[in-house]
Amino acid sequence: MPDTSRLSVAITGGAGRVATAMRKVLSPQLHHVRIVDLVEPAELAENETFVRADLTSLDQATQAITGMDGVIHLAGIPSEKGLADMLQANVLGTSHLYEAARLAGVPRIVLGSSNHATGFYPRDVVVGPEAPMRPDSIYGLTKCWGELVAGLYYDKHGIRSLVVRIGNAQDMPRNPRSLEVWISPGDLTQLCLIGLTHPDIDVRTVFGVSAGGGSWWDNAEAGRLGYVPRDVVRDFAHPDSFVPVPPDANPVEEYFQGGFFCALDHDGTIRRR
């Protein structure tokens, strides 16, 4: 891994749960971390500063990331909400973040995407980065938008992006599905540092999962970029993760990779294509 001690990096959504856990590992490896959020974090490390900004404002987004060597973009609504809210936070916010990077001359972005961009693949199908997107929800659909924005801004403006389709970044695996998709703060940090420094990054897509998970995904691209997960999913798992799925579990939820997100508002007929 290249020396990252001189890098100044902004983290959007930096006061959120995922970023807060990751910062404990990430911030000591960087020169300066600028936390960009609407909410001030409870604690700041010595090399962290806070900037309050609303990414739905292009001016605020641009000011928030000016002078940074890169951005880790984790801001947005992380669950299923109404379309109007999702368009503002996830679609407009991400679009403004990329336009702000162009205006401010920020060369690299690590885009926090989601496994829900491909959640409607069955669990017996191995999905690679080049497979067509199959979002399982409005939330997943907004992540597809973000991935396409990343491609557009590389093709037009040369902004390099590592798209990380994060599996599950809860504090620990808490159900059987999470044993397949969970990623630790340390492993997510490793992927972010790859995205910020690797010379071969143009627009690359990888899956964010720790060791022992990820059998639904072809994550060879992450390996080619040097990703070697250090944490084993089962070592961190809550006992509930190992409880067998009950016979009356929702069949849609158990059939598709996206789980609960697939079952939301689903008519119950499982369609395979």
The catalytic residue positions are 139
What is the radius of gyration, based on Cα positions, of the chain?
18
Closest alpha carbon to 200 in 219, 229, 224? 224
Helices (H) and strands (E) in the chain, counts: 10, 7
Q: Which residues contact 141 (CB under 8 A, 6 or more apart)?
A: 135
Contact 106, 159 (CB under 8 A): yes
φ/ψ bin of 99: left (φ > 0), alpha (ψ from -120 to 50), beta (otherwise): alpha
The 10 Å Cβ neighbour count of residue 176 is 17
136, with CB counted inside 10 A (0-12, 13-18, 19+), is buried
Q: Using CA atoms, how far apart are residues 244 and 211, in angstroms rounded to an integer?
A: 21
Contact 104, 67 (CB under 8 A): yes
Which residues pair with residue 12 across a beta bridge?
36, 73
Chain centroid offset of residue 256 CA: 20
DSSP letter assigned to residue 233:
G
Helix (H) or strand (E) holding 113: strand 108-114
